[in-house]
Amino acid sequence: MLVPVFPMRTFVLCTLLSSLALAADPIRFLPASKTFVLDAGPVTSAIAINNNNELQPVYFGPRLWRDDDFKPAVASREWASFDLSAATTPKEYAGYGGGLFVEPCLKVTLPNGVRDVVLKYQSHEIKGDTLEIRVKDISYDLAVSLHYRVFPQGVIRKHAVITNRTAAPLTLESAQSGSLHVPPGEGYRLTYLYGRWAGETQMIREDIHPGVKVMESRRGNTSHQANPWFAIDGPEPASEISGRVWYGALGWSGNWRVAVEQSSHQQVRVTAGLNTFDFAHSLKPGESLETPPLYLGFSDQGFGEASRAFHRFQREFIFPGGLTSKPRPILYNSWEATEMNVNEPGQVELAKKAATIGVERFVMDDGWFGARDTDHAGLGDWFVSRKKFPNGLKPLIDQVKALGMDFGLWVEPEMVNPDSDLYRAHPDWAMHFPDRPRTTARNQLILNLARNDVKEYIFSALDKLVTENDIAFLKWDMNRNVSEPGWPEVAPEEQKKLWLQYTRNVYAIIDRLRQKHPRLEIESCSGGGGRIDLGILTRTDQVWTSDNTDALDRLKIQEGFTYPYAPKAMMAWVTDVPNFNGRSTPLRFRFLVAMQGSLGIGNNLNKWSTEDFALAKKMVAWYKGVREIIQHGQLFRLASPRDPSGFAATQYVSSDAKKSVVFATLHSQQYGRIVPNLRLQGLNAQTVYKVADIDNRFSTVESGASLMDRGLPLRLTGDYAATAFTLEAQ
Ligand code: GLA
């Protein structure tokens, strides 16, 4: 059994809770109070059938142990003729109807013009750790099945299946995955991730005020600009180590929406799911729509434990292979060295050099296919350029493998350049409205993957590539967002389904490819971090965090990333300087920043000095010794790179608390301003640890108590100083 590492208090609580869990089923229906109790490890969520026969969320928080604490739920009264019961009663899955003025989960137009849905409880089914509650409109056979699953890490997954059981077609105008209600009150804060290309996952925290704050993507993918994750803390402010934090994330890589709302009666509620923008989904009689999953969790030990619990959950239940999957291999990617000027001798030269420093996977990036000499041509033509590789890829792959590495390849399957054989043959395959211009971005158009023939073509092209070549890994890129989302081949009322079907088909291609090639691994890239979410992470092994590989910028990008996502999935490369923002940082600093996730190297190795190779070799060897702790351990964010001091630190602790790794970086030093001792976390106070720095210049033997309370002295001087330590239980 995996024993999670928490401070002692939690450990005792968890042990107590796990013995309680033996006593009670994780999901129970209490007939007296008509309450569903969902226990997810240290978290309980409860949903009641109220006196109006509606589903009312009554609790989401720390684990409760006494079922009798739940009393029958009563709908709110009409506060005023302007605030009806429908709007003031918390609803688990609110239909727009009956006087609802807050965000609905479901909005429907029926063919007779009726636009009113009131959902009432019908039946339910509990099977182990899953629950299905069926609700139905009061007049029409419009049914919604609400599905729940509880996970031991304190996470609850929900999604809805909406079925048209009427005799006529209807149109869904909003189909959300679900909602979260925190205890009524004021003073809550919202934490979320915003950004831009080359500046993804920037963490921001702000007060929640009355009104609605919407985070969303209308771009056809997850987006660089916002990420489908949120956390709410309060009313007392939480910190990294204490306080109440509710969080949630959508598993969806298409248009998504998270609305955080504070009602006029101080109810903070979150509604999350498919974006309602340009959304209209017709359902014929008998048809259903299944929403993406929404994952919700809670921590009463601040943001740090909220992240760690979610990371543990991802490693076990989201990432392909789960707990059996190995740490990520160290990869080399030739993009920044050669860009599209790839050929066999040049790649072999780089591969030989990469092998000397301990790289395990060699990845050739863009430029190997079709007429791809610049970004003006070639996308769509997924056959090997005979000009660049006269004998195909086999000789290169053989040499890479002879050097002890496996081989990976870049693809951008969803795209087409107008200058390509594919586009010349199938101009109608690009997304477009027939009588309107087709907007190019990076000289490319986006294929309408919602079409079945396009989906089949892309699957076949990739399948052929992977079947004919010994490819262990694909870097799957997507370098633009959707414009002109037309689908002229289907009826106008069906065309808006493109948004949903596009993403479903991307998933379907990846799933089918992996099923047929079980050893194939995939990285999700969209011009860096444009497609990072729990939907893509259930089917890809890692993500390209950002095209921005500047180490200092990366510290903030990486910090934001780790709020929702586990460091194992976070690819971080060391690259050349000056970076594209003009900054130069020492190679050592770049390594120590990149080693805080899954390490990759993207330098032009032809330019490296003997000293660079020696340093890289040492760093890679050291990383191999600790990556298990970094990728499978618990992350503690000790000092934030957002702090104006310029000091940042992270710590990773193995599941048994016997090993730990610490990274500390200092952007710039002000003479005389000390960096205080770094107080560690997550250790066993009673255990004695041997501490050694990466340079073997400093070592000490100290108790966990001392390391956590007195802290570790740091000797960081100068600009871009960086160090790392290992801890090992004695
Ligand atoms: C995107 C990716 C890069 C690289 C280029 C190739 O920008 O994020 O890492 O693969 O495409 O064109």
Asked whether 186 and 235 are in contact (CB, 8 A), the reply is: yes
The count of other CB atoms within 10 Å of the CB of residue 66 is 6
Find out whether the beta carbon of 547 lies less than 6 Å from any atom of ligand 1: yes
Ligand 1 proximity of 479 Cβ (cutoff 6 Å): yes
Partners of 723 in the β-ladder:
664
What φ, ψ does residue 337 adopt, rounded to 5°? Answer: -80, -45
| Ligand 1 neighbourhood includes 336 CB (under 6 angstroms) | no
Which atom number of ligand 1 is nearest to the Cα of residue 527? 8
Check residue 715 and give its pLDDT.
Answer: 85
Residue 415 · residue 380 · CB < 8 Å: yes
Q: What is the pLDDT of residue 11?
A: 42
Q: Check pocket membership of 261 for ligand 1, CB cut-off 6 A.
A: no
**Nearest of 409, 423, 530 to residue 478 by alpha carbon:** 530
CB 495 within 8 A of CB 487: yes
The helix or strand, by DSSP H or E, that contains position 588, with its residue range, turns out to be: helix 587-594
**Do 356 and 617 touch, CB atoms closer than 8 A?**
yes
Task: Report d(CA 636, CA 663) in Å as an integer.
Answer: 11
**Is the distance from the beta carbon of residue 600 to the nearest atom of ligand 1 less than 6 Å?**
no
**Residues in contact with 110: Cβ distance below 8 Å, sequence separation at least 6, in sequence order:** 140, 166, 168, 170
Does the CB atom of residue 54 touch ligand 1 within 6 A? no
Residue 457 CA, ligand 1 centroid: distance in Å? 23
Among 196, 221, 335, the mutation site with the greatest number of ligand 1 atoms within 8 A of its Cβ is: 335
> Is residue 633 in contact with ligand 1, taking CB distance under 6 Å?
no
Which atom of ligand 1 lies nearest, measured to the CA of 528? 8
Q: Which helix (H) or strand (E) holds 45?
A: strand 43-49
Q: Which atom of ligand 1 is nearest to the CA of 544?
A: 8
The predicted structure's pLDDT at residue 670: 87
Check: CB of residue 54 under 8 Å from CB of residue 98: no
Instruction: Identify whether 547 is a catalytic site residue.
Output: yes
User: What are the residue ranges in the chain where pLDDT is below 70?
Assistant: 1-23
Index of the ligand 1 atom closest to the CA of residue 525: 8
Enumerate domains of the chain plus CATH numbers.
Answer: 80-316 (2.70.98.60), 360-547 (3.20.20.70), 638-729 (2.60.40.1180)
Tell how far the Cα of 224 is from the centroid of ligand 1, in angstroms. 14
- Indicate the top mutation candidate among 336, 363, 365, 580 to test ligand 1's pocket, ranked by most ligand atoms within 8 A of CB: 365
CB atoms within 10 A of CB 620: 22
Span from the CA of 102 to the centroid of ligand 1 (angstroms): 42
Q: What is the whole-number distance in angstroms between the Cα of residue 500 and the centre of ligand 1? A: 25
* Ligand 1 mutation target, pool 547, 573, 576, 580, most atoms within 8 A of CB: 547
Catalytic option among 300, 381, 477, 550 = 477
444 C-beta closer than 6 A to ligand 1: no
Q: Which residues of 367-391 are buried (b: 16+ CB within 10 A; e: fewer)?
A: bbbbebeebbbbbbbbebbeebbee
Looking from the CA of residue 475, the nearest atom of ligand 1 is 10
Evaluate: CB of 525 within 6 angstroms of ligand 1.
yes
Q: Which of 406, 419, 547, 693 is catalytic?
A: 547
pLDDT at 24: 82
Sign of the dihedral defined by the CA atoms of residues 25, 27, 29, 30, in that order: positive
| CA distances (Å), origin 407, targets 7, 402, 410, 572 | 42, 11, 11, 18
User: 475 alpha carbon to ligand 1 midpoint, in Å?
Assistant: 9
Q: Which of 196, 412, 525, 573 to mutate to test the pocket of ligand 1 (most atoms within 8 A of CB)?
A: 525
Give the separation between CA 382 and CA 378, rounded to whole angstroms: 8
What does the alpha-carbon distance between residue 528 and residue 127 come to, in Å, rounded to a whole number? 40
Residue with tokens 């209308």: 218
Going from the C-alpha of 719 to that of each of 4, 577, 589, 591, the distances in angstroms are: 37, 15, 10, 15
DSSP state of 387: T
Residues 6+ apart with CB under 8 A from 629: 652, 653, 654, 659, 660, 661
User: Which residue out of 473, 475, 477, 548 has the highest number of ligand 1 atoms within 8 Å of its CB and is therefore the one to mutate?
Assistant: 477
Residue nearest to atom 1 of ligand 1 (CA): 527
Which residue owns the Cα nearest ligand 1 atom 2?
Answer: 527
Residue pair 601/640 in contact by the 8 Å Cβ criterion? no
Number of helices and strands (H, E) in the chain? 13, 36
Amino acid at 520: L
Instruction: Compute the distance from residue 528 Cα to the ligand 1 centre, in Å.
Output: 7
Confidence (pLDDT) at 454: 98
Q: From the CB of 368, is ligand 1 less than 6 Å away? A: no
**What residues contact 690, with CB distance under 8 A and at least 6 apart?**
699, 700, 701, 727, 728, 730
3-state DSSP assignment of residue 658: coil
**Closest-lying ligand 1 atom to the alpha carbon of residue 410:** 10
Confidence at residue 280, expressed as pLDDT on a 0 to 100 scale: 97
**DSSP conformational letter for 587:** H
Q: What is the 3-state secondary structure (H, E, C) of 589-630?
A: HHHHHHCCCEEEECCCHHHCCHHHHHHHHHHHHHHHHHHHHH
Residues forming a β-bridge with 702: 689
Peptide bond into 567 cis (omega under 30): no
The answer to whether the beta carbons of residues 111 and 98 sit under 8 Å apart is no
Question: CA 698, CA 414: separation in Å to the nearest integer?
Answer: 51
Q: Ligand 1 centroid to 467 CA: how many Å?
A: 24
Q: For position 23, what pLDDT does the model report?
A: 53
* 307, amino acid identity: S
- What is the token pair recorded at 386? 């005979």
* Cα(298)–Cα(233) distance, integer angstroms: 10
CB 653 within 8 A of CB 659: yes
Residue type, 238: A
**Whole-angstrom distance, CA of residue 412 vs CA of residue 379:** 7
The residue to mutate among 374, 410, 548, 603, having the most atoms of ligand 1 within 8 angstroms of its beta carbon, is: 410
* Nearest one of 415, 421, 429, 451 to 525, comparing CA atoms: 415
Spatial separation of the C-alpha atoms in residues 331 and 184, rounded to whole Å: 49
Residue of the CA atom closest to atom 12 of ligand 1: 366
Phi-psi sector, 720: left (phi>0), alpha (psi -120 to 50), beta: left
Please name every residue paired with 159 in a beta bridge, in sequence order, or none if there are none: 147
Q: Which atom of ligand 1 is nearest to the CA of 547?
A: 8
Taking CA atoms, 401 is separated from 359, 623, 631, in Å, by: 12, 22, 25
Ligand 1, atom 7: closest residue by C-alpha: 527
Supply the mean pLDDT for the chain.
96
Nearest protein Cα to ligand 1, atom 8? 527
pTM of this prediction exceeds 0.85: yes
Q: CA torsion sign, 630 to 636 to 641 to 647?
A: negative
- How far is the centre of ligand 1, averaged over its atoms, from the C-alpha of 690 (Å)? 42
Please work out whether the CB of residue 332 comes within 6 Å of at least one atom of ligand 1.
no
C-alpha of residue 230 to centroid of ligand 1, in Å: 28
